[in-house]
Amino acid sequence: MEAPPPPREPGGEAAFARRIDPQREPGLSPEQRRLMAQVEIAQRQRVLQRRLRSRNTLMAVVVGAVAFGIYGYTFYSVSQERFLDELEQEAEAARARARARAEGAAS
């Protein structure tokens, strides 16, 4: 059985992807209707997978950006901290005072 040629539009071009209702289409066997339903289900699953893949990719980019942002901010904030330097200066001053007292007591 050969498929009929696609219907022509008034401009002479063929219609693109004419949608049919398998339940109302005359001349389709139950097997053809079942096959069309399977194809539609498979197409819906592919569309859903594409949609999920794009959402997953977007989520991965967002999570990665947040993680790198936290990582970068941590390095920035640690480089701004000066309290260890201040503690080291205070300890050095205390050592110098202790040496001065020790030298003053020894002489």
Residues with Cβ within 8 Å of residue 37, at least 6 apart in sequence = 22
Is residue 32 a contact partner of residue 20, using CB atoms and an 8 Å limit?
A: no
Tokens coding 94: 């205390």
The mean per-residue pLDDT over the stretch 95-103 comes to 89
25: helix, strand or coil: coil
Q: Examine the pLDDT at 81 and tell me if it is beyond 90.
A: no
The residue ranking higher by pLDDT, 102 or 80, is: 102
Q: Which phi and psi angles does 94 have, rounded to 5°?
A: -65, -40
pLDDT of residue 23: 73
Q: DSSP of 90-104, one letter per residue?
A: HHHHHHHHHHHHHHH
Mean pLDDT, rounded, of the chain: 82
User: 43-57 pLDDT, tens per residue?
Assistant: 999 999 988 999 999
Confidence of residue 59 (pLDDT cuts 50, 70, 90): very high
Q: How far is Cα 70 from Cα 49, in angstroms, rounded to an integer?
A: 31
User: 13-47 pLDDT, tens per residue?
Assistant: 666 777 777 777 778 888 888 888 899 999 999 99
